[in-house]
Structure 1
Amino acid sequence: MILLTRLNGARFAINPDLVERMHATPDTTLILVDGSKHVVAEPLDVVLDRIIDFRAAVVSRARDLPLTSDRTQLGLVPLPSAAADPTAPVPLRSRKKEDPTWTPQR
């Protein structure tokens, strides 16, 4: 979330992932993906800098998360091993009917 200021001085937080576009005509107007509009006191370049800083902070915090015991981060994605061949193909799971996890695609 980024903190912004309405023209009346009230502060509010907005999710920058929901911002579809911004205009500076002459006040800075944020238009969200749901169509709602928010007019803010900050100039367009300041809002853009806050969005960039927010996204950089998210990436930085994700990178700094501790590894789990099986060397995965967040327990989701295994980290690449130093000994792994980066040119090796990624093995795919079988989609044959004999595979108990196979389901037909519609």
Structure 2
Amino acid sequence: MIVVTRLNESQFAVNPDLIERIHENPDTTLVMVDGAKYIVTESLVEVIELIAAYRARIISLARFMPGDPSGDTFDVGDQPTQRPLGLVRDTPAEKADATGANQNGHAGTDGAGSPVQFRPRTT
């Protein structure tokens, strides 16, 4: 969330991912994806810098999170369940060769979730 200031000097936080566009004519207006409009005292450049700093902070926090994400668990009902929360990496069985074929030599799905290549229609 970024903190911006209304014209009456009260501050509020807004989710920058929900900002559709920003106008500055003469007051800075944030137009949200749901159509809501907020007039703020910050300039267009200041709002853009706040958004850039917010996104940089999120990336930085995600990059330097301590611990191994594959060891994270969550509860489903009464049982803790193992769920990796890190990046999804290909296992050797799912890796495709340079031609795009999987280990079986097929371009289609091998049951392990490999992508299916598209082919043009013949109609």
Could you state the TM-score of these two structures normalised by the residue count of structure 2?
A: 0.61
The equivalent residue for 1:94 is 111
2-structure distance, mates of 1:11, 1:49: 17
Distance 1:79 1:67 in 2: 16
Q: Distance in 2 between matches of 1:68 and 1:52?
A: 28
Count residues in correspondence: 90
Identity, % of aligned pairs?
Answer: 40
The reply to whether residue 23 of structure 1 matches residue 23 of structure 2 is yes
Distance change in 2, residues 1:7/1:93 (3 Å) = farther
Q: Is the 8 A contact 1:20 1:32 kept in 2?
A: yes
For CA contacts below 8 A with separation 6 or more, give which structure has more relative contact order.
1
Q: TM-score, normalised by structure 1?
A: 0.70
Residue 75 in structure 1 maps to residue 84 in structure 2:
yes
- Code of the aligned partner of 1:89: A
Structure 2 gaps of 5+ residues are: 73-82, 103-108, 113-123
Unpaired runs of at least 5, structure 1: 96-106
Alignment RMSD: 3.0
Q: Distance in 1 between matches of 2:67 and 2:87?
A: 10
Distance 2:22 2:51 in 1: 12
Larger-Rg structure: 2
